[in-house]
Structure 1
Amino acid sequence: MKNVSIVLFATATAAILLLAPAQAQVTLKASHQFPGGKGDPRDEMVQIIAKEAKAANVGLEIQVYPGASLFKPNDQWNAMVNGQLDISSFPLDYASGKVRAFGATLMPGLVRSHDRAARLANSPFMKDIKAKIEKAGVIVLADAWLAGAVASKKGCVRKPEDIKGVKIRSAGPTFAAMWQAAGASIVSIPSNEVYNALQTGVAEATDTSTGSFVSFRIYEQVKCITAPGENALWFMYEPVLMSKKAFNKLNKQQQDVLLKAGKKSEEYFAKESKGLDEKMVKTFQDNKVEVVTLSTAEYQAWIDVAQKSSYAEFAKEVPDGKKLIEEALAVK
């Protein structure tokens, strides 16, 4: 009888040990608005984190939902704050309605080049932005700055007068303020709805990242695009973010795996970012769209408009808005 008890105890113990990994398995949900499986580097950033998490064998799996298939673009921030969504590749300015200071991460002329974007990483400006992200209940897994452009169905946008009377989709309030000050009217929609808006005439022009211009095939709808070149007006912070509620539920080993995966994802994107601009230029030229860049004088004309509109409004409306602008401009 004693031997039978020992056998039963051993069998039960083995069964518990076999079940333990299954019980410890955590499945996280990652959502973003960008196309999946088509080479969009923002999707690839999330896929890298998912692959690394699975390969680490720490009971962690990430299901990725691209193309706004799980949450609409503008709903992702609240979903992360509330713990309904675990991870997202997210244009931070989309949450500027909730945290107005986030508008600084899509401010005309504040970044200007990929090299300056890289130098911003450890600046007081980014430390302040990340502190505000964390205060809201979200953390950064991987940094990503994307250059952007402006394209129109009517013609090339080089000077402020070129946008007068044009219905333009603007990615965020700071650019909207500049476009409006130059005489445009604003259409507020996320980047995954731009193609249809241009096709149906709801919008006649758009600003967005160089990656989105290609991913969403905007070249099929416009006549001319103003590429970043040496004088990029448009840069946007689009990090991979994670809900603090979700992160805090993980054990230390799982958290470390995600943070390490985030660094690998960030390194991948740093190598890809300039290539996105080159790919956009080639794609638009291949599709017979005129491609131009801003001269230093043209760039300055836009900065003059932005300083009287975007910069002035931001400094006035955001408690530490002036400080954020000055911190970013101080990075040489």
Structure 2
Amino acid sequence: MKKNLLMTGAAVAMMALSSMANATELRLSHQWSNKDIRHQVAQMIADDVAAADVDLNIKIFGSKSLFKPREQYKPLSRGQLDMTVLPLSYAGGQQPAYNLTLMPGLVKNHDHAARLSASPFMEALEAKMAEDDVMVLVHGYLAGGFAGTEKCITHPDDVKGLQTRAAGKAFEQMLAGAGASIASMASSEIYNAMQTGVLNAANTSSSSFVSYRVYEQVKCYTPAGDVALWFMYQPVLMNKSTFDGLNEDQQNALRAAAEKAEAFYLEEAKMQDAASAKVFSDAGVEIAEMSAEDFAAWRALAQETSYAKFVAEVPDGQALLDLALAVE
């Protein structure tokens, strides 16, 4: 009897090991620390999929440990990477239309961003992703602001002559139009660039400002408030062929996890802005506010620079811009 029990226990253990060996593992890459909201969204998906017990595991490679920040979209589209949390405008070189997901003044607030994600505008972008064998699992926009090592930045006049990091082509064009010198880099590189004097100013998401401890390097911070010039689409993406290759239970588990994570992403994103202002203030950094007049000046400059160049450079640029502007 005892021998039979031992044999039964051994058989169960072998079956468990066999099940683990047969489980599909997906690799998810991102550039952020494990304290960042984008990692938290990825971890939620991984945890919920694991809890669904459908022989599907998601292994997260954070802090740019698998791919460099701007080099994730190509391997994703080629099936060399399964999933990523990515600022979509990083892939603007592959699909110029993606630059519209980081266009100054295009998004008014977080609820407006959510409406954009559920609009014909986003459907048009998703059609372009499909061409690259990429699909969206989780929609999400993050707001952001400006930080300066020497002074506050609220108006276009404030960046004239400054060495400035902007996230995305459209912001670079607008800031260059305001007289700033542009230094292109991932948000994960801002801290060192400011520390070494390469940068005087930067704009990025509220979350990145905090997770990369930029408050240790700046004199003044202009967070997203009632008016936010900076909104960036940063979805969880997946290789479409990889998704299509999963069984129905695995696909359903991923969809359910993604739906829950998307709701969390939106609510958490709304809290990031005020939370970031408190972190900077607690660190002794001056907090500035952008007025409605400042915002109007930036948007007028964007229309002359970023919007105009986007329409001129992208074949269907005007149609895409019109779709975005049609979302109230």
Please, what TM-score do these two structures have when normalized by structure 1? 0.92
Aligned to 1:65: 61
Aligned to 1:132: 128
Match of 1:30, SS state, is strand
Aligned to 1:26: 24
In structure 1, distance between residues paired with 2:264 and 2:12? 42
Aligned to 1:291: 287
Q: 2:215 aligns with which of 219, 224, 235?
A: 219
After superposing the two structures, state which structure 1 stretch, 309-318 or 134-143, moved more: 134-143
1:210-289 alignment runs, 5 A limit: 210-289=206-285
In structure 2, distance between residues paired with 1:163 and 1:121? 31
Match of 2:280, SS state, is helix
Q: 2:167 aligns with which of 164, 171, 189?
A: 171
CA offsets 1:112-153 (integer angstroms, 9 cap, x no match): 211211221221111111211222111111011000111111
Aligned to 2:154: 158
In structure 2, distance between residues paired with 1:156 and 1:321? 33
Q: 2:303 aligns with which of 295, 301, 307?
A: 307
Contiguous gaps of at least 5 residues in structure 1: 1-12
Match of 1:229, SS state, is coil
Please, what TM-score do these two structures have when normalized by structure 2? 0.93
Shift of 1:17: 6.8
Percent sequence identity over aligned pairs: 46
In structure 1, distance between residues paired with 2:13 and 2:206? 53
CA offsets 1:213-249 (integer angstroms, 9 cap, x no match): 0000001111111111111110000001111232122
Aligned to 2:119: 123
Aligned to 1:7: none
For the 8 Å contact 1:151–1:225, the answer to whether it is kept is: yes
Contiguous gaps of at least 5 residues in structure 2: 1-10
For the 8 Å contact 2:187–2:208, the answer to whether it is kept is: yes
After superposing the two structures, state which structure 1 stretch, 113-122 or 261-270, moved more: 113-122
CA offsets 1:232-273 (integer angstroms, 9 cap, x no match): 110000001111232122112111111111111101111101
In structure 2, distance between residues paired with 1:122 and 1:113? 15
Q: 2:86 aligns with which of 85, 90, 93?
A: 90
Aligned to 2:195: 199
1:106 and 2:102 aligned:
yes
The one-letter code sitting in structure 2 at the alignment partner of 1:299 is: F
RMSD across aligned positions (CA): 1.6
In structure 2, distance between residues paired with 1:298 and 1:329? 20
CA offsets 1:277-297 (integer angstroms, 9 cap, x no match): 011010011111111221111
For the 8 Å contact 2:110–2:266, the answer to whether it is kept is: no
Q: 1:316 aligns with which of 294, 312, 316?
A: 312
Which 4+ stretches in 1 moved above 2 angstroms? 13-24
Aligned to 1:49: 45
